[in-house]
Amino acid sequence: MSAAGALLIATVLAGCGKTTYFAGRTLPPSGLTNRVMIAVQNPSAITRGALVIVDAYYDIRFSYDSKLGSFSISGYSNALPTTIQNMPEEQQGAVYGSGDGSLNIINYAKESTGGAQKGLNGSSQSSIFTTRDQSYTFAASQSTSVLTILDRTNGGSYGLSLPGVYRVSVNPGGSAAMAFVQNSNYAYYARKLTASQTLSYSGGPSSWPKAAMDCEPLNAPGWCLFQMQSPDNKDPKYPDLSYGAPLVFNRPIKAVFSPDGGTAYVLNCGIECGGTTVASVSLLPVSPMIFLANQSSGLLPCNTAPCSNPLTKPTVTVAIPGGASNALIDTSTMYVIGQQLQADGLFSGNLTVVNLANNTASSPVSISDGAPGAMSRIIEADDNTLWIGMTKCTNGERYAKSLPYGCLTMFDRSSNSVKMIEPYLGDLTGIASVTNLHKVYVAQGGQVYIYTTTDGRSLDNQYVTVTGTAYDVAYIDGLTDGNNTVY
């Protein structure tokens, strides 16, 4: 259905007393069916955060018939909203506020929030993710060296100690969670314990498997955090958790997951993140890491043959010389972005296309430069395009050599080539793909801009600009949960 058709049908249905639009979604109070939500920091002298809604069909903040002056998420007042985890299929989103460490679940149908989740540890989570059904939330707080797990199936909050933890990756199905430590070559996964395991591990660290980093609470643990494979090569007492030589990565930074959910692709940031060798991607089976009780199966691989357990095999690793700090998977193709160290000591941005059918990587394609290892943005949009955003893009090779530079790249997937690097407007912190309307919204330099996906032209943004600092954007009427730039 076209956007214009959806808008017309929604308007007609509203006039007839109907309350749904496409895919059975509830028509919101604003009556808009093509909404972009903007996370705005410091919108006024007395408010540190707001969530503003704009009509992405007309590119305006007010109603097209001028009956309503503006739209926003009611009840939201948390400090410095930073990221939006967009889940349009569930008609909800999760907004993290870095100013107070809050995570709010936003009801898209009601355009309101139910308040911040309770139980998060610390006020500066560096990475946070909630599952689609809201059963579990995982938050990495580098300031407190704690991975917090909110388990709403039992009402528990578990703070698992892991010094330096700064990233968490959760598979789309919400059944496996991985944690990453800055400046480390190891990765970790969480496991929910069965009743028998809780009893067995209740004697403190001496009763835990050797691969366990922490189990909480100590006297009756409900969750544990495990290193991928035992630190001393094997632990025969717990073969399902820790057989095999310890898996050693190369500054792992995050994981993305295959469409079928069976494979985790660990991004090894390498030299970009202070490692000694080029970046790469390691392929791991997800099944041994499933945290749901009694649902994990199989063993994790080891680094190199021979393995100490005959049932394990060496992990597959694909070299990515252009850098690997973020990625997006579309069926059998993975788009990997990162920064490559140059001879002059500066970094240069690259995109590498990986064929997952045979695990081969293309030659890197030059894109916007960015801060090494920093969180970047990548999203698919109309007209077979990718849009890639970076921060600190004036610190790289392009700016130093007076080449075309900016923090936003438009990439044509059909030709595997860069179509445009948008002129510099500041750090790019959010991208929203407004599907079927052939445009993207971005948060760049603290303001909102709009570009066409047909040729990258900048569109008039005068009626969508905000007071304060725009930090993230999301198309909350997207077709799928894949319409999201934070994973």
Poorest-pLDDT segment among 7-11, 17-21, 206-210? 7-11
Token pair of 14, please? 């509203």
366-422 per-position pLDDT tens digit: 999 999 999 899 999 999 999 999 999 999 999 999 999 999 999 999 999 999 999
Residue 5, pLDDT > 60, answer no
Dist. CA 283–CA 262, nearest whole Å: 10
In this structure, are residues 43 and 468 in contact, taking their beta carbons and an 8 Å threshold?
A: yes
Record the pTM.
0.93
Residue 3, pLDDT > 50, answer no
Q: What is the pLDDT of residue 7?
A: 44
Dist. CA 315–CA 301, nearest whole Å: 5
89-103 per-position pLDDT tens digit: 999 999 999 999 999
Beta bridge partners of 329: 334
Residue 180, pLDDT > 70, answer yes
Dist. CA 186–CA 139, nearest whole Å: 18
Classify residue 9 by burial, with Cβ atoms within 10 Å: 0-12, 13-18, 19+: middle
Q: What is the pLDDT of residue 10?
A: 45
Higher pLDDT, 326 or 229: 326
Polymer length in residues for the chain? 487
Q: What is the dihedral of CA 30, 33, 34, 35, to 10 degrees?
A: 30
**Residue 221, CB-side half-sphere exposure with 13 Å CA sphere:** 27
Q: What is the pLDDT of residue 308?
A: 72
Residue 124, pLDDT > 70, answer no
Strands 223-227 and 458-459: unpaired
**Beta carbons within 10 angstroms of residue 467's beta carbon:** 11
- Helix (H) / strand (E) element for 195: namely helix 195-200
Residue 260 Cα distances to 172, 256, 263, 267, angstroms: 10, 12, 8, 18
Q: What is the pLDDT of residue 487?
A: 61
Dist. CA 231–CA 242, nearest whole Å: 9
Dist. CA 166–CA 110, nearest whole Å: 33
Higher pLDDT, 242 or 247: 247
Q: What is the pLDDT of residue 443?
A: 98
Dist. CA 155–CA 424, nearest whole Å: 46
Residue 322, pLDDT > 60, answer yes
Q: What is the pLDDT of residue 338?
A: 98
461-472 per-position pLDDT tens digit: 999 999 999 999
DSSP 302-349: BSSSSPSSTT--BPEEEE-TT--SEEEEETTEEEEEEEEE-TTS-EEE
Higher pLDDT, 3 or 399: 399
Give percent of the chain above pLDDT 90.
Answer: 79
Q: What is the pLDDT of residue 16?
A: 47
Residue 437, pLDDT > 70, answer yes
29-52 per-position pLDDT tens digit: 999 999 999 999 999 999 999 999
In this structure, are residues 389 and 336 in contact, taking their beta carbons and an 8 Å threshold?
A: no
Residue ranges of E strands in 146-186: 146-151, 156-161, 165-170, 177-181
Residue 277, pLDDT > 50, answer yes
Dist. CA 439–CA 418, nearest whole Å: 17
Average pLDDT, the chain: 91
